Amino acid sequence: MHKIAVVGTGYVGLVGGAGLADFGNRVVCVDRIEEKIEQLRRGEIPFYEPGLSDVVKRNVREGRLSFTTDLGKAVAENDVVFCAVGTPEGEGGQVDLSQVDVVAREIGTHMTGYRVIVQKSTVPVGTARRLRRIIEETRGEAAEFDVVSNPEFLREGSAVEDFMRPDRVVVGADSERAMEIMRGIYAPLYINRTPIVETTPESAELIKYASNAFLATKISFINEVANICENVGADVQVVSYAMGLDKRIGPKFLHAGAGYGGSCFPKDTKALVHIARDAGAEARIVDAAVAVNREQKERMVAKVVSACGGDVSGRTVGLLGLAFKPNTDDMRYAASIVLAEGLRKLGATIRAFDPVAVDNARELMPFIDYVEDAYEVAEDADALVIVTEWNEFRQLDLDRLKKTMRSPVVIDCRNVYDPEDFESHGFSYTGVGRGKR
């Protein structure tokens, strides 16, 4: 058992802290916001993530997981400190490390013996060295410590499963002493033969960015193929399926749609471009993927306008789904934002429903009329847009939809349906890259 402090109770920190406690460690999660800590002590999770509440409650009940606002005490009493604070996008795509710097100074001030400082947040190459320098400048006594880079690879909506059964664990360390401690922390994963990649801090930091940028590029690539399909009469669903059968390519992330969003891909792709430029290199492919993704979301607005006969002024457009992906309430860089704001500027009235993201969406888009289910969205609507591929939107009663809509027009931004499903019920259907059949 290890005594661990996790600084930051956001997405990465809370999932990671709960997971480490479930491995049998004693974990205290730290956050400076008292209200948030009290909420967690009551067993309330501040964001939507399937399965996380059960893991948190179980480990609190069994005495392995606790919460505090006292960072100094947490640093003084625990041997391993995970830094999982926010690293938001700064000016020009550069990563804002101000919260990381604050934590580093606090660690330097309060550590009383050997500590392993684990950087869990996504940070630019060189941040581990930066942490070491700040801690060395602020430590009150000559306490020994090591800094480790241990990037997370959690997918929103399946983060608990990803933490418990990861594809790999990446640990970047210069010290064998620190590496041995990290092996002990992740020992439960050795039983499942999870690959543990042991490398330098610089390589570990870059692995995270390179992985996310590659996946984002794959999405942008298939969206460009989809746009070609629309112009030449091909079907991207067939094209991507055949591509995915090639083992060198694989089927994942080859799903054409409205582009990527969320907390990782948009921020990490721009950050990698910035990192490359700072290092005197270029990331032209990644830069292009960013541009394609931005344009793809704008294309969805044009699709809706075209499906409505070229004009949406005075018309009601219903949006099914608002979160950037299913099984999360995360609205960061969601395609629904571009869609709703674009259609509003063109004079449309927007009505929408999402199973879990409405509260977050309302803060960003108060002009939307939020309703209780998909059929209320469709009531007297001139067009219905599938924006997020929630499972409950995959088996809609199409006859019921047609009866309640003013015009039977559907724009499927995620290619959830076969065009024939809607067309056989008398709808005008527009997908992404569906071409001619």
Catalytic residues: 264
CB proximity list for 350: less than 8 A, separation 6 or greater: 316, 317, 318, 319, 340, 343, 344, 365, 367, 368, 369
Q: What is the C-alpha separation between 253 and 218, in angstroms, rounded?
A: 6
Beta bridge partners of 118: 82, 148
Q: What is the C-alpha separation between 14 and 27, in angstroms, rounded?
A: 11
Q: What is the C-alpha separation between 127 and 111, in angstroms, rounded?
A: 20
The helix/strand/coil state of 170 is: strand
User: Could you report how far apart the first and last alpha carbons of the chain are, in Å?
Assistant: 59
CB proximity list for 404: less than 8 A, separation 6 or greater: 375, 378, 379, 380, 381
- Helices 284-307 and 335-345: crossing angle in degrees, nearest 10, is 50
b/e sequence 268-307, b meaning 16+ C-beta within 10 Å: bbbbbbbbbeeeeeebeebbebbebbeebbebbbebbbeb
Q: What is the C-alpha separation between 270 and 90, in angstroms, rounded?
A: 10
Sheet containing 316-320, strands listed edge to edge, beginning at the edge strand earlier in sequence: 369-370, 349-353, 316-320, 383-386, 409-412, 428-430
Here the tokens at position 54 are 């059960």
Contact 140, 109 (CB under 8 A): yes
Q: Which DSSP string corresponds to 291-304?
A: HHHHHHHHHHHHHH
